Structure 1
Amino acid sequence: MSEIEAFATLTKNTGALKGQTVFITGASRGIGRAIALKCAANGANIVIAAKSAQPHPKLPGTIFSVAEEVEALGGKALALQVDVREEEQVADALAQAAEKFGGIDAVVNNAGAINLTTVEDTPPKRYDLMQSINSRAVYLTAHLAMPYLKQSSPGHIISLSPPLNLQPKWLGPFAPYALSKFGMTILSLGLAEELRQAGISVSTLWPRTLVATAAIEFAVGGREMFEQSRKPTIMADAAYEILQTTTGELSGQQLIDEELLRARGVTDFSGYAHNPDNADQLTVDLFLDP
């Protein structure tokens, strides 16, 4: 059985997102890809907005391979090469998505840049990269997507950023990265209030534990840390819960995947572990206290 066949078997298709269009940045791999597949399996049109148009020798997955996976699950896909730092590219991608699918119902800010270094050890170019791909992209996509989201009922913006936690232990070691991620959260909190009357729900989502992605492998601690991580599907399931919440009750909230899923009735999390034998030996993610 292929991965997609297994995914289709394990995913309960409620059709809750049927006909909705979800615009996901950085959706060619990892958590973004998992969210795309989860939404596609539940009827959504998926816009895969990422830079990865060509295969990478160390990182499998492109916008086109994910589009094929989306369609294999019965969803409709639009693969667009987009750099979230570039206003014209983001604006053009949103316009193409709205034209193809008749609108945009949700934006998921998943694209990210990480460098866990101090101010002294962070080159200006790397600092600018993190600020532009992380916090600035939340502003840019929201600013450009608002006209489309205001036509949806209800619209959603989800940003993959942590709850605000200004303890020195999270700031001293890597303040530039922390600033970029907390900036995403602060913008989201402001957007939740700004867009409340428009019926657009804005929330943040962060994993309780490490998630087995390229960021963990290449920027945090190496592939061996996958043994202490969960699979991206837990974030996909949590994002899906947000997207199918139509009452606005989650707007303005800083959500943790495990806490949200527990609130929605999930009791067994062992299947999310990258290694089921280590399901009780997981590492808590950055910015969260044990």
Structure 2
Amino acid sequence: MSSLHGKTLFITGASRGIGLAIALRAARDGANIVIAAKSAVPNPKLPGTIHTAAAEVEAAGGKALALQCDIRDEANVEAAVAATVERFGGIDILVNNASAIWLAGIEDTPMKRFDLMQQVNARGTFLTTQKCLPQLRRAANPHVLTLAPPPSLDPKWWAPHTGYTLAKMGMSFVTLGLAAELADSGIAVNALWPRTIIATDALNMIPGVDVPRCRTPDIVADAAHAVLTRPARGFTGQFLIDEDVLRGTGISDFSAYAVDPTLEPLPDLFLD
């Protein structure tokens, strides 16, 4: 299978950034895209809403369903899944993309921010997967793909921002556990992470990042597409890196994904 035509993707946090890029790549195949995100009205600091994302998906050739959804709220997620089934008849693929970030040490991390990261990242991934699971069990080639790094207990990834690392690694450990739990179900449960820092609108809110040395979200979207078009059964529990996935498809020149191809890209926060 090399196309996602007719497949239904439920993508959290798809109003902008990597989630939107994954949605648009699938839309070009003629996929059905559920844009499940909180942003229903414009934000002057973060451009993009579920409605603008839906318009882009439709323009790219897909069918879109814009759903305002807070993945911290169980009833909200249940309602979003029900609306998806009513519109498209089921769910073939879940992309757990939504994530909260706060890059600071313990003394500079308000508990409100700490709680938000834990609720959105690990808990939100677990909750959304749980609610989509009955539909995924009925799908012909079901995938769960979570944007999370390879799990690590190396203190160098924890010391600079324990709260964020705990939340992000929480997504990784949810992936690890669910892949094992669902191994006999035929549902692929994998994680994908970029080799380099990705230039997103949210990144602009983090001071000190050299954006020209980043790559665009398209590299993650193309890698996700390569993963999601693979046979699901037996392909699970993998912690994949975008470059490695694309090399497996024959791509070795990544300069097209660079914000500035003349500069060496910045390594990601969780990768050597």
**TM-score by shorter chain over 0.5:** yes
Q: 2:104 aligns with which of 95, 117, 138?
A: 117
Once the two structures are TM-superposed, the CA of residue 118 in structure 1 deviates from its matched residue by 1.6
The question of 1:48 aligning with 2:27 is answered: no
Post-superposition Cα deviations, 1:86-127, rounded to whole Å, max 9, x if no partner, equal 111111001101111010001111111101112232221111
Please say if residues 116 and 220 of structure 1, whose CA atoms lie closer than 8 Å, have aligned partners that are also in contact.
Answer: no
Give the equivalent residue in structure 2 for 1:285. Answer: 268
Give the equivalent residue in structure 1 for 2:90. Answer: 103
Looking at structure 1, the residues matched to 60 and 253 of structure 2 have their Cα atoms a distance apart, in angstroms, of 25
TM-score (norm 2): 0.96
Q: 2:55 aligns with which of 57, 64, 68?
A: 68
Runs of 4+ aligned residues of structure 1 deviating over 3 Å after TM superposition are 247-250
Q: What root-mean-square deviation, in Å, do the aligned CA atoms of Structure 1 and Structure 2 show?
A: 1.3
Q: 1:241 aligns with which of 226, 248, 259?
A: 226
The question of 1:133 aligning with 2:116 is answered: no
Once the two structures are TM-superposed, the CA of residue 39 in structure 1 deviates from its matched residue by 0.4
Give the equivalent residue in structure 2 for 1:31. Answer: 18
- Return 5+ residue gaps in structure 2 as ranges: none
The question of 1:179 aligning with 2:166 is answered: yes
Q: Secondary structure at the match of 1:178?
A: helix
**RCO (CA 8 Å, sep 6+): is it higher in 1 or 2?**
2
Q: Secondary structure at the match of 1:177?
A: helix
Give the equivalent residue in structure 2 for 1:8. Answer: none
Give the equivalent residue in structure 1 for 2:244. Answer: 259
Give the equivalent residue in structure 1 for 2:216. Answer: 231
Give the length in aligned residue pairs: 272
Once the two structures are TM-superposed, the CA of residue 42 in structure 1 deviates from its matched residue by 1.1
Once the two structures are TM-superposed, the CA of residue 32 in structure 1 deviates from its matched residue by 0.5
Post-superposition Cα deviations, 1:13-46, rounded to whole Å, max 9, x if no partner, equal x971111100000000000010000001012100
Q: Secondary structure at the match of 1:277?
A: coil
Give the equivalent residue in structure 1 for 2:181. Answer: 194
- Return 5+ residue gaps in structure 1 as ranges: 1-13
Please say if residues 142 and 186 of structure 2, whose CA atoms lie closer than 8 Å, have aligned partners that are also in contact.
Answer: yes
Please say if residues 72 and 124 of structure 2, whose CA atoms lie closer than 8 Å, have aligned partners that are also in contact.
Answer: yes
Partner amino acid, structure 2, of 1:91: E
Partner amino acid, structure 2, of 1:276: P
Give the equivalent residue in structure 2 for 1:89. Answer: 76
Once the two structures are TM-superposed, the CA of residue 220 in structure 1 deviates from its matched residue by 5.4
Closer/same/farther in 2, CA of residues 45 and 15 from structure 1, 3 Å limit: farther
Looking at structure 2, the residues matched to 114 and 25 of structure 1 have their Cα atoms a distance apart, in angstroms, of 15
Looking at structure 2, the residues matched to 220 and 114 of structure 1 have their Cα atoms a distance apart, in angstroms, of 13
Give the equivalent residue in structure 1 for 2:135. Answer: 148
Looking at structure 2, the residues matched to 247 and 254 of structure 1 have their Cα atoms a distance apart, in angstroms, of 15
Please say if residues 203 and 253 of structure 1, whose CA atoms lie closer than 8 Å, have aligned partners that are also in contact.
Answer: yes
Once the two structures are TM-superposed, the CA of residue 250 in structure 1 deviates from its matched residue by 3.4
TM-score (norm 1): 0.91
Once the two structures are TM-superposed, the CA of residue 79 in structure 1 deviates from its matched residue by 0.3
Once the two structures are TM-superposed, the CA of residue 221 in structure 1 deviates from its matched residue by 2.8
Once the two structures are TM-superposed, the CA of residue 247 in structure 1 deviates from its matched residue by 4.3
Once the two structures are TM-superposed, the CA of residue 249 in structure 1 deviates from its matched residue by 4.5
Once the two structures are TM-superposed, the CA of residue 243 in structure 1 deviates from its matched residue by 0.6
Looking at structure 2, the residues matched to 220 and 147 of structure 1 have their Cα atoms a distance apart, in angstroms, of 42
Please say if residues 15 and 42 of structure 1, whose CA atoms lie closer than 8 Å, have aligned partners that are also in contact.
Answer: no
Closer/same/farther in 2, CA of residues 232 and 97 from structure 1, 3 Å limit: same
Q: Secondary structure at the match of 2:67?
A: strand
Looking at structure 2, the residues matched to 249 and 61 of structure 1 have their Cα atoms a distance apart, in angstroms, of 37
Looking at structure 2, the residues matched to 210 and 19 of structure 1 have their Cα atoms a distance apart, in angstroms, of 32
Give the equivalent residue in structure 1 for 2:260. Answer: 275
Looking at structure 1, the residues matched to 3 and 30 of structure 2 have their Cα atoms a distance apart, in angstroms, of 7
Looking at structure 1, the residues matched to 107 and 91 of structure 2 have their Cα atoms a distance apart, in angstroms, of 42
Looking at structure 2, the residues matched to 169 and 142 of structure 1 have their Cα atoms a distance apart, in angstroms, of 30
Closer/same/farther in 2, CA of residues 164 and 91 from structure 1, 3 Å limit: same
Once the two structures are TM-superposed, the CA of residue 256 in structure 1 deviates from its matched residue by 0.6
Q: 2:7 aligns with which of 16, 20, 23?
A: 20
Give the equivalent residue in structure 2 for 1:170. Answer: 157
